[in-house]
Chains A and B, each alone.
Chain A
């Protein structure tokens, strides 16, 4: 067909998340072919990791999924600590869970606001970001920064959680569910929103599995797969929470799954914050003066559940102070690959809506 219009959407486009470029072939308003083109944010993070000490590599992981950086740190440290043989103390593990789950809430809020913007809703964005801001303020006290925390370190966390911060988190958890329902109602009591998303962009269970899709998108397609339950890391096995699953697999299901995940994360933080035990917050084997002398040999692969899906880190050590090879299994990269199959033969407006539910963060896709 030669009478199709070719349209380059992105990388400079107001609704492309980050720097995704889509090469579309349009038949009027209908998208006939989609070709995602990535690489505009490539920073060679995996190679850079080979050039730095294990303890310094955390900063590169912070800059991968920058809206959920705590989860990235957890992912890297799961692998690195296994390789280096440094076990974090109990207290540090609980603190990590609290930080990771708070960050998951923040990341999902960013997604929810941006999804609203994709559909032309201006107001929910600010409501989401006001709540996210409260989490970031807690993180500022915890780690000193708003986004690229560099909070967790090999063998523990960089500084201890204080009673004041615990109080702040408790306060946040207390007021947040009410606000969340308010935000959810802005979406779910809106007929236009429902009619635009119900039944749109359906991903079948088998298709999702065959493309290697993970995270909320897979769970929205009816597969109850979550690394936190399948292969618990940190102290997730001591916590009581559910994995929301939907059988519908459409845009609305993905929205509902993420909404429910926020609620579950609130539940986790609520439990974890009271259970943080006393004790050291870092392993003395990895105290600051010894950190750069840690040596690792062998291969490890560790997987964790980031806010986007299964985040895997593979590290090879040759016995030196720096890793020999680092590879990251980025969930959004795998999730993105299904877009041409899902959004084909839909209208441009629908393509944007479907893309909106994928929660793309380009720091992680391009790395």
Chain B
């Protein structure tokens, strides 16, 4: 039984087609709410964690321990005037932040979360090629950033967008190569290695242990994808004001902001699924989502520590790093995994 089946059980009186349509819709809304709540929780966690590292108190005024601060912030941003630059290219300017958010939200749907007590499996949808699909959806986000930068007609935004693209080009190849290593290793054990669920079931031992190089590469790629320090050249606040999001205000700006935190969460979830066994864990098989969440939150905290303690890398140095170091290392990783899988039969 899965969440969808249970919903259909309620709406089966509408007939097969309409019933499924309604249940899918409700499921989608549920997902949106849960992910939004998780993101709010994460941003709150970030602010508290940051304050802790910096010997401050952090949000502590709205609600108990400032727990409602993010809700208040969301309402503030909703109520803000949306200032549109007169020189903009209207359509791409408006669409760009949505593209960032849509790519992010869709990618969340494809991640397997396992089953939770009586509800059953809460994985939203299955696809035989969900691994490829997730990365394809994530590839929408840089396009949104580029569009935002170009359509703002602002020199800072343009420079930021160009930097963001240069950065994306240099880490995505190593990222995909390390992903290939994971799929390669899984293909020795399961027949559909491109399906996230079977990737997890193929992990007799967490791939993070079998592929230490791979998890390292993937983590760097995830930091770069989420574009926070040290890889925030695209929106570096001390150089380019705010990079590609310079001209955005109010809710549109919030979309980029949420997109950034969402990418951290998505990256951590992906990393925990691909390398740390995802929803599988000891004790019980019916607390899958909790395992995903625990693994992800540990990775998120590691990301925050990296974010808050390192300075920014210069863009040309990062491009150098990507092509001269990350790429060869990812090939080495691929060869090592090949030897492990084919030679030793792991």
Contacts and interface: CB of A to CB of B under 8 A. Distances in A.
B138 interface: no
B315 A13 contact: no
Contact of B314 (A5, A14, A349): A349
B302 to A, nearest CB: 15
A237 interface: no
Contacts of B308: 122-123
A352 interface: yes
Nearest to B51: A126
Contacts of B139: none
Contacts of A342: none
B: contact size bracket? 20 to 34
A348 B311 contact: no
A15 B238 contact: yes
A190 B311 contact: yes
Interface string A102-122: 000000000000001111111
A227 interface: no
B55 interface: yes
Given A14-B237, A349-B233, A29 B315 contact: yes
A117 B229 CA distance: 11
Contact of A352 (B50, B54, B156, B238): B238
Contacts of B315: 29, 347, 349
Contacts of A122: 50, 54, 229, 307-308
Contact of A123 (B230, B237, B240, B309): B309
B310 A121 contact: yes
Interface string A52-91: 0000000000000000000000000000000000000000
B314 A123 contact: no
A195 interface: yes
Interface string A177-193: 00000000010001011
Contact of A347 (B232, B311, B314): B314
A7 interface: yes
B159 A348 contact: yes
- Among B54, B311, B315, residue most surrounded by chain A Cβ atoms (within 10 Å): B311
B238 A126 contact: no
- Among B240, B307, B308, B316, residue most surrounded by chain A Cβ atoms (within 10 Å): B240
A123 B309 CA distance: 6
A347 B238 CA distance: 14
Interface in A1-36: 5, 7, 13-15, 26, 29
Given A15-B239, A120-B312, A186-B309, A130 B229 contact: no
A348 B239 contact: yes
- Among A15, A123, A193, A195, residue most surrounded by chain B Cβ atoms (within 10 Å): A123
B238 A119 contact: yes
Nearest to A24: B155
Contacts of B155: 5, 7
Contacts of B61: none
Contacts of B54: 122-123, 125-127
Contacts of B55: 126-127, 130
A196 B314 CA distance: 8
A261 interface: no
Contacts of B64: none
Interface string B235-247: 0111111000000
B311 A192 contact: yes
A101 interface: no
Given A14-B238, A15-B237, A126-B54, A120 B229 contact: yes
Interface in A110-158: 116-123, 125-127, 130
A5 B162 CA distance: 14
Interface string A312-351: 0000000000000000000000000000000000011110
Contacts of A5: 155
Contact of B309 (A117, A118, A121, A126): A121
A186 B316 CA distance: 24
Contacts of B311: 116, 119-121, 190, 192-193, 196
B314 A120 contact: no
A126 B230 contact: no
Interface in B257-310: 307-310
Interface string A254-276: 00000000000000000000000
B317 interface: yes
16 contacts: A7-B156, A15-B238, A120-B310, A122-B307, A126-B55, A127-B54, A186-B309, A192-B230, A192-B313, A193-B311, A196-B314, A347-B314, A349-B236, A349-B312, A349-B314, A350-B314
Interface of B: 50, 53-56, 155-156, 159, 163, 229-230, 232-233, 236-241, 307-317
Given A117-B238, A192-B230, 5 more contacts: A13-B241, A116-B311, A190-B309, A192-B312, A348-B240
